[in-house]
Amino acid sequence: MGRMAETSNRRSSSIEDYVRAIYGLAERGEAVTNTSLATRLEVSPSSASGMVTKLSQQGLVAHVPYRGIELTGEGTALARAVLRRHRLIESYLVSELGYTWDEVHVEADQLEHVVSDLLVERMAAKLGNPVRDPHGDPIPAVDGSVEELSTRLLDELPTGAVGKIVRVWDTDPELLRYLSEHAIGLGERIEVVERQPFGGPIVVKVGPQPEAATHALGKEIAQALSVAVR
C-alpha cells in the first residue's frame, strides 16, 4: 500500500471535522445537538442536520432519546484517530518548530487531514510518544485508548481549593495569549482565594508560594481551566 493509499482510505475532511466536534462536545459534558454542532463548527443548523444524517447512515453516530447525538463505537474510534493526529501535530509544532500554544490549533486543523499516518508516528516517536498536547488535552494512543485524569473545572471549585492546572479547554488564541501573559500555564499551582457573588470573578493565586500572583478571573476563563485537585 503506497503513501497515497494511506491517506485516501480516510473519511472526507468534513466527516472528520464533525466526528471530532461531536467528541469534543461530549468530552466537555455538553449536549450534542444540531444547534450546538452548528455553533461549534460555524455552519448553519441545516448544514449540521444534513451532515448528522449522513454520519448516521454511515454508522458513525446514533440519535439517543433525551441525550441527543452520540458517536457509535466506530465513530469514537474515528474521532480519536483524528484527535491523535491533531494533538500530535500541535505538540510537534510547539516542541520542534517554536510555535506558541495560541498559534497551533488553526495549523493543526489544516494539517490533520493531509499528513500520512507514517509522518504522524514519526512525529510521535521524535517527541517520545507524549500523552498530552500543549493545551493539556489527552493524546489518544495508536489503539485509541485515552489516559483520563481526574480533574474539575476551576469554575466548580470551592474557596480554599488547591490544585494544579492541567488542561485548557478553549482554543481562542486571545484567551491563550492572555493566560501566557499572566503566567497562568499548565503545571502551575492554583489556589481559590475567593468566589465573588452574583457571577463575579473568581480570585485565585497562581504559581509557587510565597510569590504566587493574585488574579481575578472571569467565568470564561474559569470554565476553560481544568484543575487536578490535591
Q: In one letter, which amino acid is 34?
A: N
152-229: CATH topology: SH3 type barrels. (2.30.30)
Strand-pairing partners, residue 191, are 162, 205
Distance, in Å, from the CA atom of 161 to the CA atom of 192, rounded to the nearest integer, reads 5
Nearest to 217 by CA among 169, 187, 182: 182
Domain limits, the chain: 1-148, 152-229
* Cell representation of residue 88: 500530535
Query: Where does 42-135 have alpha helices with state H?
Result: 45-57, 73-97, 104-111, 117-126
Distance, in Å, from the CA atom of 108 to the CA atom of 78, rounded to the nearest integer, reads 17
* Cell representation of residue 228: 487536578
Orientation of helix 117-126 relative to helix 73-97, angle to 10°: 50
Is the Cβ–Cβ distance between 164 and 227 less than 8 Å?
Answer: yes
Give the pLDDT confidence of 85-128 residue by residue, as tens digits: 999 999 999 999 999 999 999 999 999 999 999 999 999 999 99
Give the pLDDT confidence of 205-221 residue by residue, as tens digits: 999 988 999 999 999 99
Taking phi over 0 as left and psi of -120 to 50 as alpha, with beta for the rest, 209 belongs to: beta
What is the structure's pLDDT at 1? 45
What is the structure's pLDDT at 64? 86
Mean pLDDT by 10 residues, the chain (230 residues): 50 91 92 93 94 96 90 96 96 97 94 93 97 96 91 95 96 95 96 93 95 95 95
Is the Cβ–Cβ distance between 153 and 227 less than 8 Å?
Answer: yes
DSSP annotation of 156 reads G
1-148: CATH topology: Arc Repressor Mutant, subunit A (1.10.10)
pTM of the model: 0.89
Distance, in Å, from the CA atom of 62 to the CA atom of 78, rounded to the nearest integer, reads 14
Distance, in Å, from the CA atom of 135 to the CA atom of 226, rounded to the nearest integer, reads 10
Give the angle 178-179-184 at the CA atoms, nearest 5°: 150
Distance, in Å, from the CA atom of 130 to the CA atom of 128, rounded to the nearest integer, reads 6
C-alpha dihedral sign at 214, 218, 222, 225: negative
What is the structure's pLDDT at 181? 96
Distance, in Å, from the CA atom of 71 to the CA atom of 63, rounded to the nearest integer, reads 9
